[in-house]
Amino acid sequence: MKRTLKILCTDLDRTLFPNGQQAVEPEGMNNFVEFVRDRNFRLIYNSGRCKQEILEGVKEFGAPAPDIMIGEVGTKIYFREGEEYREEREWPKWLGENTPDWDVGLLRDLVLREAGARLQPEYHQNPFKVSFFLEPLSTAPAMADKLSQEIRQKIPGATTVYSVDETEGEALFDILPAAATKLHALEYVRRKLGEKREEVFFSGDSGNDLEALTGGYCGALVRNAIPEVKEALMERAQKAGVEDMIYLCQGDGPWGNGYFVSGIMEGLAHFGWAPSRKEKRADK
């Protein structure tokens, strides 16, 4: 049975935005723009970036304007209304109600006791997101593990997300309510729109995408993902029993090298939503 695509949700940095080290497929973004132009599905961007940074990236990389933005790792949701994006006020309200033990002051104190931890700039913080850099990069994973354990004990309603910005060489450590991740925010939007999980496509490249990639959607990991992320994804997918809903981009299809946005097209083709080049020509 052929599924209908109802929601195309993607991570931005090094997934839709080709801002990594691999070769950029020259027609990659044009193909994507063409694919979403006359869409009868919702286009959602789901990123660690804040609203302003998402809009800047859209401009910088020539990406299409989304219908919905999920920003700051799932802690903010915006719906497009005309040319504007309106923040969904129900979402932080829901987060507060579902995370009664949330305590930003306590979290900051706890993490800043580590010598290698420092706060990210103020525009990366919000009432439901506390974000740090961990240094040096070599010991950051161990530091993140230790901090995550401590945080789980002190504030069970909090979750931690560790990821590496490979371009900047920075280890990022975010603390969020367990109910406020990229996955939870997408689930909130999906339920609000009344769509089925299997008619949602999600693409990503790094640690903070793993939960959404294995959320029961049609998930594609772009080819530039590092081996550790590929392994972690397959392990998680097996545990969740959703291996057949996951596609690892290979760069051997009609949409090019599989890096960044060309990987999104490859993933869409894998799930039968994007045509092969041949069909595309025949259409015209």
Side-chain half-sphere exposure of 104, counting CA atoms within 13 A: 10
**Minimum distance of Mg ion from residue 180's CB (angstroms):** 18
Distance in angstroms (rounded) separating the CA atoms of residues 122 and 131:
9
Closest CA to 33 of 274, 279, 281: 274
**Minimum distance of Mg ion from residue 172's CB (angstroms):** 11
Question: Is residue 6 a contact residue for Mg ion (CB under 5 A)?
Answer: no
Nearer to Mg ion (CB atom), residue 13 or residue 67: 13
Q: Cα-flanking dihedrals φ and ψ of residue 98, to 5°?
A: -95, 0
Return the residues of window 190-249 that contact Mg ion according to CB under 5 A: 205-206
Question: Is residue 13 a contact residue for Mg ion (CB under 5 A)?
Answer: yes
Fill in the amino acid letter for 156.
P
Question: In the numeric block, which tokens belong to residue 278?
Answer: 């041949």
Distance in angstroms (rounded) separating the CA atoms of residues 228 and 187:
26
Question: In the numeric block, which tokens belong to residue 226?
Answer: 């590092």
**Minimum distance of Mg ion from residue 221's CB (angstroms):** 11
Distance in angstroms (rounded) separating the CA atoms of residues 281 and 69:
32
Nearer to Mg ion (CB atom), residue 6 or residue 182: 182
Nearer to Mg ion (CB atom), residue 95 or residue 212: 212
Question: Hey, is 194 helix, strand or coil?
Answer: coil
Question: Is residue 10 a contact residue for Mg ion (CB under 5 A)?
Answer: no
Nearer to Mg ion (CB atom), residue 194 or residue 227: 227
**Minimum distance of Mg ion from residue 11's CB (angstroms):** 4
Question: Of all residues in this chain, which one has the CB nearest to Mg ion in the complex?
Answer: 13
126 Cβ contact partners less than 8 Å away, ≥ 6 residues apart: 72, 75, 76
**Minimum distance of Mg ion from residue 35's CB (angstroms):** 20
Q: Please, what is the end-to-end C-alpha distance for the chain in angstroms?
A: 26
Question: Is residue 184 a contact residue for Mg ion (CB under 5 A)?
Answer: no
Nearer to Mg ion (CB atom), residue 50 or residue 110: 50
**Minimum distance of Mg ion from residue 225's CB (angstroms):** 9
Question: Is residue 14 a contact residue for Mg ion (CB under 5 A)?
Answer: yes
Q: Give 3-state DSSP helix, strand, coil % of the chain, rounded to 5.
A: 40, 20, 40
Residues that contact Mg ion, how many (by CB under 5 A):
6
User: Binder to Mg ion among 6, 8, 11, 132 (CB under 5 A)?
Assistant: 11
**Minimum distance of Mg ion from residue 278's CB (angstroms):** 31
**Interface with Mg ion (CB under 5 A):** 11, 13-15, 205-206
